[in-house]
Amino acid sequence: MDKKTVEDIQVEGKRVLLRVDFNVPLDRDTGAISDDSRIRASLPTIKYLVDRRARVIVCSHLGRPDGKVVEGLRMAQIAVRLSELAGLPVSAASDCIGEQVENEAAALEEGEILVLENLRFHAEEEANDSGFASQLARLADVYVNDAFGTAHRAHASTVGVARHLPAVAGLLMKKELEVMGKLLDDPERPFCCLIGGAKVGDKMDLLQSMLDRVDILLIGGGMAATFLQTQGYEVGRSRVEEDKLILAGRLLKEAGERKAHLLLPVDAVVAEELTAGVMTRVAPAAGIPSGSHIADIGPGTTELFCGELAKCRTVLWNGPMGIFEIPEFAQGTRSLATFLSTLNASTVIGGGSTAEVVQEMGLSDRMSHVSTGGGASLRFLEGATLPGVSVLLDK
């Protein structure tokens, strides 16, 4: 990795502004944290700083308050959970900028932790306002970005602050960049990319990028309908992105001309309505009923895809194979997750909804890496420059 990390600088006794991604999911009914994986992911960096007697000032956004104070999105319960997980006292600030917070940050003793209030209570955060960034920077001597999940956003706390303070990567950011970088530059082969999700438009750049790098490309999810129609199949009432048909056809043609072995579903779970409790049936890809939606890959496709995955030494998975939130349409996704967890290969889960599936199934520890950044990992693997990474100091 060509960026400096927290391990490359002196942090002893210094006030460190640590940008993390503690945008954890909250229970709709109680407002309590329903999954603390993102907090756990940054514990190594926090403990590294505490062990070296740094004064740690943690900052993050939570939810989408749109520049206003939302009581249910305060960071106080995040600070409590962080304290429980780290086994250390953690205090919560009443804001993230201003004289009172500056005094609290200045009063921190070595090894102490202060969690700032939700950054997005201020509209200036997402606007990357230079004045807001300057106020954040006044709290610290050094800036450490451990929030890979927001590295694709040019916000005040991910880009603006780095113009005022020495800026380096945290240990989680370092790990994410190393894992994703290896996929792009030096994967162990055979290398398979398993791509799903609802829309071709969301993944076309990733598909194009992977086509030059992988040995096997497997396409499932709702986006498969657009590819199947490109090949002349009827797809019933399934959503087809008409404006992406030409691009999908071009991708299939390019795959045929290159080394990548591209496979589409050979069957599908179909239903007349995409709702829980509906009747389903399995139909061949060449025989999708006119009144049905494709809702999941079928058992034949699952077997086909597992056979290809079994050949591989590296697998990247981004996007579910069906509408996994609905039990009737989750079997394909769950079967592939289970199969991947048994492989003797490097298995990288590309964040977002795919990570949610793996975490919900309790399989995270059986994968080589589960990314904390859905959008960020997607952009990185597309070959794009991440603003929150580019501003960090070069080695």
Predicted local distance difference test score (pLDDT) of residue 393: 97
Residue with tokens 């080589």: 368
* Residue 388 falls inside a structural domain: no
Per-residue pLDDT at 335 exceeds 80: yes
Per-residue pLDDT at 351 exceeds 80: no
* Residue 181 falls inside a structural domain: no
Are both 233 and 377 inside the same structural domain? yes
Per-residue pLDDT at 199 exceeds 90: no
Are both 168 and 316 inside the same structural domain? no
Are both 22 and 121 inside the same structural domain? yes
Are both 130 and 219 inside the same structural domain? no
Q: Tell whether the torsion through CA atoms of 5, 10, 11 and 12 is positive or negative.
A: positive
In this structure, the dihedral spanned by the alpha carbons of residues 65, 69, 75 and 77, taken in order and rounded to 10 degrees, is: -100
Amino acid occupying residue 170? G
**What pLDDT band is residue 192 in, cutting at 50, 70 and 90?**
very high
Are both 344 and 374 inside the same structural domain? yes
* Residue 259 falls inside a structural domain: yes
Of the candidates 141, 175, 209, which is a domain's last residue?
Answer: 175
* Residue 395 falls inside a structural domain: no
pLDDT tens digit sequence for 61-82? 999 999 999 999 999 999 999 9
Are both 16 and 39 inside the same structural domain? yes
Per-residue pLDDT at 260 exceeds 90: no
- Cβ atoms of residues 275 and 329 within 8 Å: no
Are both 217 and 93 inside the same structural domain? no
Which structural domain, as residue segments, surrounds residue 35? 6-175
Domain of 338, CATH number, reads: 3.40.50.1260
Please report, rounded to a whole number, the percentage of residues in the chain having pLDDT higher than 90.
93
Are both 126 and 255 inside the same structural domain? no
* Residue 221 falls inside a structural domain: yes
**What pLDDT band is residue 87 in, cutting at 50, 70 and 90?**
very high
Active site residue: 15, 19, 38, 379, which one? 38
pLDDT tens digit sequence for 36-53? 999 999 999 999 999 999
Are both 229 and 101 inside the same structural domain? no
pLDDT tens digit sequence for 103-151? 999 999 999 999 999 999 999 999 999 999 999 999 999 999 999 999 9
Are both 225 and 331 inside the same structural domain? yes
Mean predicted confidence (pLDDT) in 85-100: 97
Are both 193 and 167 inside the same structural domain? no
Instruction: In whole angstroms, give the CA distance from residue 159 to residue 128.
Output: 7
Per-residue pLDDT at 170 exceeds 90: yes
Token readout for 188 is 């162990």
Predicted local distance difference test score (pLDDT) of residue 257: 82
Active site residue: 111, 181, 249, 375, which one? 375
* Residue 393 falls inside a structural domain: no
Predicted local distance difference test score (pLDDT) of residue 130: 97
Predicted local distance difference test score (pLDDT) of residue 302: 98
Are both 248 and 347 inside the same structural domain? yes
Instruction: In whole angstroms, give the CA distance from residue 83 to residue 114.
Output: 10
Residue with tokens 């086994």: 87
**What pLDDT band is residue 222 in, cutting at 50, 70 and 90?**
very high
Predicted local distance difference test score (pLDDT) of residue 193: 97
Q: Specify whether 352 is catalytic.
A: yes
Per-residue pLDDT at 259 exceeds 80: no
Q: Specify whether 259 is catalytic.
A: no
Per-residue pLDDT at 212 exceeds 90: no
Active site residue: 352, 373, 374, 388, which one? 352
Instruction: In whole angstroms, give the CA distance from residue 161 to residue 142.
Output: 10
Of the candidates 175, 206, 232, which is a domain's last residue?
Answer: 175
* Residue 182 falls inside a structural domain: no
Active site residue: 138, 199, 239, 366, which one? 199
Predicted local distance difference test score (pLDDT) of residue 256: 81
Of the candidates 175, 203, 236, which is a domain's last residue?
Answer: 175
- Beta strands at 267-271 and 293-297: parallel, antiparallel or unpaired: antiparallel
* Residue 146 falls inside a structural domain: yes
Number of domains in the chain: 2
Per-residue pLDDT at 94 exceeds 80: yes
